[in-house]
Amino acid sequence: MSYLKTGNKRRIDRLLIVSNRLPIGLFKDEIGNWQVKASTGGLITALTPILGNMNGLWIGWSGTLEEVDPHEVRTLGGKETGLELKAINLTEDEITQYYYGFSNKIIWPLFHDLQTHCDFDPDYWHAYQTVNRKFAEVVAENIRANDYTWIHDYHLMLIARELHALGINDKLGFFLHVPFPPLDIFLKLPWRIQILEALLHYDLLGFQTARDRNNFIHCVEAFNIDLHHDARRQVSTLTLPDRKIQAGIFPISIDFNDFAQQARSKEVNKEVQKIHKALPNRQIILGVDRLDYSKGIPQKMLAIKNLLDRFPDLRGKVTLIQVVVPSREDIPQYQQQKSEVEGLVSEINGEFTRTGWIPVHYVFRSLTRTELLAYYRAADMSLVTSLKDGMNLVSKEYCAARIDNTGVLILSEFAGSASHLRRNALLINPYDMEGVANAIHQAYNMSKNERQSRMRKLRERIRTHDIFWWADAFLSSATADMTNESPMV
């Protein structure tokens, strides 16, 4: 049964979505009045029709450090998005310590197996608890009987615990968009027991991959929490001494049809022609990554250098277009990452450039949707070198945009998407620069028939498991016990 295709026929009157940010951007016009612009993204695309069908409510931070009248956000945001929105105001200190501190200097690097980047400042933990409590209080003020509350991502792991402390015992779901680390990494977290116990307050926990779900279960078992479960099922029931919860595998995806349709547009075709004209008679390797140390961009550059060293016949015949989207530039590690990448690009181009050919074209900015789709369409290969990724939607977007059924996906085995695209992508270990170079060489020499066979299968896999399938799968599992139905996974 689908929430999106048949409407809500379960015992839920209304859906509450809770995330760090609302699905809008706020800005002031020339005379100082607040203006609202709807944000974009897969999560918003998937949840907007559900909220519309169920008269739902989206709760999140306003996105600005200025005090905003929640009623004004509700009115303006509703006109722009058609959604009911509830804004939470956070202070500059709360954003510094809860968001930039605990969320992005502790949880983000730790959950990506990069604990050396962590700053375990106790003040961050105190702020994280305070802000999660603030979110919970707003949820408690707005929740009604037969509501279902779906909380998203690592910023808000404590909300269920805080709601239970407030006497709210309604059904609560949580989806973790990032990886969950293995036990030996999770042990580094000073507040590991508090986090685990807080997560066990949810009725349904959603993870991207079996690896992430099983890592969570192993951590729970390690702390002598009496637990019985069946890890063979996609949605496992975890039996605790005092309650039962579910932990499921729900790989997030994209709006496949929307990407494929836009990739056919005249505007995109025009941009593709420009790219081929600027870079004639060569195969294009494409990297599209947010500026983040988890994306393995320096490793990608070292692999390109290794490729050109070991396969001189490819000089002048391949070009890497590396797009880096700015992110969190005020965090020192991100500034260091940018400097390292730019240094490697300069080194490679300085060593290998010759008349009429530059091996690496470096783009440091955000792209429009038309530009992004044009790069996807023009690129003969997509090179994803994530050191750890919850999913990596670039790998799925690239395939969806390949309306000609060509192109080769070279994908890190540490990206969540590798768990269900592995059969038809070329899997790589991003730390193995020779192995990555070999995969590029293999893709360069791959026959057209093999390219098309692989890409057709990749596209069909993504088409049938799109963002709407993901939302339906989670909500069907969340409410199956209300109607004695089997979860849809």
Task: Give the residue numbers annotated as catalytic, written as ranges.
Answer: 177, 389
Q: How far is the C-alpha of 150 from the C-alpha of 172, rounded, in Å?
A: 6
Residue 216: CB atoms within 10 A of its CB come to: 23
In sequence order, what are the beta bridge partners of 60?
87
In sequence order, what are the beta bridge partners of 381?
285, 408
Q: How far is the C-alpha of 235 from the C-alpha of 488, rounded, in Å?
A: 10
Q: Which helix (H) or strand (E) holds 43?
A: helix 42-53
Asked whether 268 and 408 are in contact (CB, 8 A), the reply is no
Q: What is the DSSP string of 358-420?
A: -SEEEEES---HHHHHHHHHH-SEEEE--SSBS--SHHHHHHHH-TTS--EEEEETTBTTHHH
Type of residue numbered 86: K
Query: Which SS3 state, helix, strand or coil, does residue 480 take?
Result: helix
DSSP secondary structure letter of residue 114: -
